[in-house]
């Protein structure tokens, strides 16, 4: 029964059984059996010469042979060989009434001719005709080709036709075709962002985001995200989509998702991540325009951040040479999906600032503290990076302060990207109450750090010392300590700033204070020059 159904579907679409492509199968087998590269090149050159000869007499070649030869050219191209002929035959296949021949033609256009505007111009009419076909597989094939190629030729000639499919004929189209149309429009819009007007599309995008088909929702959200990323129009022009995005997201966070769209028991993670990103593009005032919308967004964030911790625990690191079992792989995939949603939710929470529920912020701080202790280096990095952005809001420091020592430990990580994120976080958390501990720890690390991080360390230490030190004597001491630990990394900006401070460039100091500061600085300089060692007569010290 299943085989009969498959044969019926093949006949309906014009797809021949694989045995009808015997010549292609033999060619592939010959290539695989070649003992070395030279044999492969000879076999490919022989086949290309044969195909070129066949194409010189187009009247004697059938559609089936044309398709077979184009497939051979595509296979050769995928092996890395140049294919500079057969283009017209590929264009002719696009106009075929047989689905298998049309597939070969469109695939050849996508792979061989994507940058050839003159040839693409020849298939525009075929694409237009196929997009409106009553056979949705043919329509999908044409739309796939447009999405794969993009380009100015298709943008100029097809954007209006594809837009019409969603704006005017939407009720007649299946969700399958609407998905393809959204992907096409996204590709073409990125090519020419002047082709779409908010007043025409706002209402339609809202309707697409209210659909029940998860595949269509994923394509539509990608289209909306692409529009917002281009930034062609002010965000308020698209504010009408915010309630629809929030409502759609709420449904999936609550678990309202067909089983076949769950990824390791996570409901449509790619869709959830896209919807969370869309909301981050809008100013907080737009998100708060309707009280119900901001209430719903806060509820969504609360639900995402308070899921049971066991659901997002990555598998233990273990021995990197030990083969992972199926259960470990599944646990890792589920953890990745859940963390992708979690971090996007935190990004939205950071974007909301004071309009986010305080309990949610406290929960997020606790989760980030757990993440920077994770056995997974990627989770540690993302935890530090997200916590650094959260720390830009002074009101969150009370929740993050307790992780200061843990963050300092991350400055000893082998991975420099993690150390750099830890440094950024410490810089964001530094205040008059804790600056001395942080700066002292960073000074101790300065001499041990590699040169890739030393310059950044020096700059941040200098800024923190000047900003937080109770008086300028501390600032001078810190700069000389940096000259002792990493003289090559102390830039001209740093030592020049010390000179400004010591010479009285700064207002607010009395003559007595200036004199005391200058005597202190001179004594430190004399002490440094007298100590010897690797810093002796270093160019930067001499300048200072």
Residue-by-residue pLDDT tens, the chain, 544 positions: 555 545 554 544 455 555 568 889 999 999 999 999 999 999 999 999 999 999 998 788 999 999 999 999 999 999 999 999 999 999 999 999 999 999 999 999 999 887 777 888 899 999 999 999 999 999 999 999 999 998 888 999 999 999 999 998 778 899 999 999 999 999 999 988 777 889 999 999 999 999 999 999 999 999 999 999 998 899 999 999 999 999 999 999 998 899 999 999 999 999 999 999 999 999 999 999 899 999 999 999 999 999 865 445 555 555 554 566 788 888 889 999 999 999 999 999 999 999 999 999 999 999 999 999 999 999 999 999 999 999 988 888 889 989 999 999 999 898 999 999 999 999 999 888 888 888 889 888 887 887 888 888 888 888 888 888 777 778 778 877 887 787 777 777 776 777 777 776 665 667 676 777 777 777 777 776 676 554 445 555 555 4
Supply the pLDDT for residue 20.
66
Is residue 58 included in any domain, yes or no? yes
Whether residue 129 lies inside any domain: the answer is: no
pLDDT computed for residue 420 by the predictor? 92
The answer to the question of residue 202 being in a domain is yes
3-state secondary structure of 267: strand
Strand, helix or coil for residue 263: strand
Smallest CA-to-CA distance from 515 within 534, 502, 532, 531 is with 502
Considering the domain architecture, whether residues 61 and 207 belong to the same structural domain is answered as no
Residues 207 and 104 grouped into a single domain: no
Are 256 and 107 found together in one domain?
Answer: no
Q: Which helix (H) or strand (E) holds 266?
A: strand 266-267
Q: Per the domain annotation, does 491 fall within a domain?
A: yes
Pairing of strands 262-263, 266-267: antiparallel
For residue 258, the domain's CATH number is 1.25.10
Say how many domains are in the chain: 3
C-alpha span between 298 and 294 (Å, rounded):
6
End-of-domain residue from the set 79, 113, 147: 113
Residue whose pair of structure tokens reads 């969603």 in the numeric block: 166
> What 3-state class would DSSP assign to 313?
coil
What is the per-residue pLDDT across 324-340, written as a single tens digit (0 to 9) for each? Answer: 678 888 888 999 999 99
98 plus 239 within the same structural domain: no
Domain closes at, from 60, 86, 113: 113
Domain contains 539:
yes
Residue 16 is predicted with a pLDDT of 55
123 phi and psi, to 5 degrees?
A: -105, 0
Give 246's contacts (C-beta < 8 A, 6+ positions apart). 279, 293, 296, 297, 300
Q: How far apart are CA 20 and CA 297, in angstroms?
A: 56
Q: How far apart are CA 480 and CA 483, in angstroms?
A: 5
Nearest CA-CA partner of 284 in 223, 247, 240, 235 = 235
One domain for residues 217 and 341:
yes
Degrees, nearest 5: CA angle 237-239-240: 105
- With respect to residue 462, please indicate whether it lies within any of the assigned structural domains: yes
Supply 437's token pair. Answer: 């501990």
- Residues with Cβ within 8 Å of 433's Cβ and at least 6 positions away in sequence, in order, are none
Residues 437 and 526 occupy one common structural domain: yes
CB atoms within 10 A of CB 135: 13
Q: Is 205 found in the same domain as 85?
A: no
Residues 104 and 246 in one domain: no
CA-to-CA separations, 257 to 241, 250, 275, 427, 437, in angstroms, rounded: 21, 11, 15, 42, 50
Cα–Cα–Cα angle for 280, 286, 291, rounded to 5 degrees: 110
Q: What is the pLDDT of residue 325?
A: 79
Considering the domain architecture, whether residues 214 and 342 belong to the same structural domain is answered as yes
Among candidate residues 80, 113, 146, the one where a domain is terminated? 113
Sign of the four-CA dihedral 392, 394, 396, 402: positive
CA of 185: how far to CAs of 54, 60, 108, 150, 190, in Å? 38, 40, 22, 9, 8
| Cα–Cα distance list, 60 to 55, 64, 66, 232, 524 (Å) | 9, 12, 10, 52, 94
The reported pLDDT for the residue numbered 535 is 45
Same domain membership, residue 229 and residue 349: yes
Whole-angstrom Cα distance, residue 144 to residue 162?
Answer: 12
Residue 97's CB is within 10 A of a number of other CB atoms, namely: 9
Instruction: Tell me whether residue 224 is in a domain.
Output: yes
Pairs from 497-506 (Cβ < 8 Å, separation ≥ 24): 497/462, 497/466, 498/544, 499/544, 501/466, 501/472, 501/475, 501/476, 502/472, 502/476, 506/472
The model's pTM: 0.84
Residue identified by tokens 């273990």 is: 318
The answer on 352 and 449 residing in a single domain is: no
Residue 542 token pair:
């001499």
Which domain does 207 fall in, by range? 197-312+333-356
Contact predicate 381/417, CB 8 Å = yes
- Whether 169 maps to a domain, the answer reads no
Shared-domain flag, residues 538 and 438: yes
How high is the pLDDT of residue 313? 56
């Amino acid at each position: 029964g299943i085989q009969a159904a498959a044969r019926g579907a093949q006949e309906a679409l014009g797809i021949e059984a694989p045995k009808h492509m015997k010549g292609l199968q033999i060619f592939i087998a010959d290539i695989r059996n070649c003992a070395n590269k030279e044999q492969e090149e000879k076999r490919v050159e022989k086949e290309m010469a044969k195909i070129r000869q066949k194409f010189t007499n187009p009247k004697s070649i059938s559609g089936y042979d044309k398709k077979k030869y184009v497939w051979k050219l595509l296979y050769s191209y995928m092996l890395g060989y140049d294919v500079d002929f057969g283009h017209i035959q590929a264009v002719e296949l696009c106009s075929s009434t047989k689905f298998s021949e049309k597939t070969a033609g469109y695939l050849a256009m996508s792979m061989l001719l994507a940058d050839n505007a003159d040839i693409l111009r020849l298939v525009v009419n075929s694409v237009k005709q196929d997009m409106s076909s009553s056979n949705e597989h043919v329509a999908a094939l044409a739309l796939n080709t447009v999405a794969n190629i993009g380009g100015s030729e298709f943008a100029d000639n097809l954007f209006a036709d594809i837009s019409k499919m969603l704006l005017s004929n939407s009720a007649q189209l299946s969700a399958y075709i609407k998905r393809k149309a959204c992907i096409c429009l996204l590709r073409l819009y990125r090519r020419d962002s002047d082709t779409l007007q908010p007043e025409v599309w706002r209402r339609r995008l809202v309707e697409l985001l209210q659909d029940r088909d998860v595949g269509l929702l994923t394509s539509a959200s990608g289209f909306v995200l692409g529009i917002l990323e281009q930034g062609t129009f002010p965000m308020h022009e698209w504010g009408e989509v915010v309630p629809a995005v929030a409502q759609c997201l709420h449904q999936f966070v609550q678990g309202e998702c067909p089983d076949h769209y769950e990824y390791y028991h996570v409901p449509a993670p790619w869709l959830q991540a896209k919807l969370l990103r869309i909301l981050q593009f809008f100013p907080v005032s737009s998100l708060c325009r309707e009280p119900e919308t901001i209430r719903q967004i806060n509820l969504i964030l609360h639900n995402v951040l308070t899921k049971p911790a066991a659901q997002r625990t990555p598998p233990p690191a273990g021995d990197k040479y030990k083969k992972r079992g199926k259960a470990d792989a599944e646990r890792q995939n589920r953890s990745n999906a859940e963390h992708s949603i979690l971090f996007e939710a935190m990004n939205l929470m950071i974007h909301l600032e004071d309009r986010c529920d305080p309990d949610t912020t406290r929960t997020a701080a606790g989760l980030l503290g757990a993440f920077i202790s994770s056995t997974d280096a990627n989770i540690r990095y993302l935890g530090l990076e997200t916590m650094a952005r959260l720390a830009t809001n002074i009101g969150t420091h009370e929740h993050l302060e307790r992780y200061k020592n843990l963050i300092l430990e991350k400055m000893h990580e082998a991975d420099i990207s993690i150390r750099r994120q830890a440094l950024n976080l410490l810089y964001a958390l530094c205040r008059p109450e804790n600056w001395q501990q942080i700066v002292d720890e960073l000074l101790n690390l300065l001499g041990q750090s590699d040169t890739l991080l030393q310059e950044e360390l020096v700059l941040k230490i200098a800024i923190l010392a000047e900003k937080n030190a109770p008086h300028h004597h501390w600032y001078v001491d810190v700069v000389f300590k940096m000259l002792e630990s990493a003289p090559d990394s102390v830039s001209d900006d740093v030592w020049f700033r010390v000179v400004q401070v010591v010479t009285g460039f700064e207002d607010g100091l009395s003559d007595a204070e200036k004199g005391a500061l200058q005597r202190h600085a001179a004594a430190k300089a004399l002490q440094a020059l007298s100590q010897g060692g690797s810093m002796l007569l270093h160019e930067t010290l001499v300048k200072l």
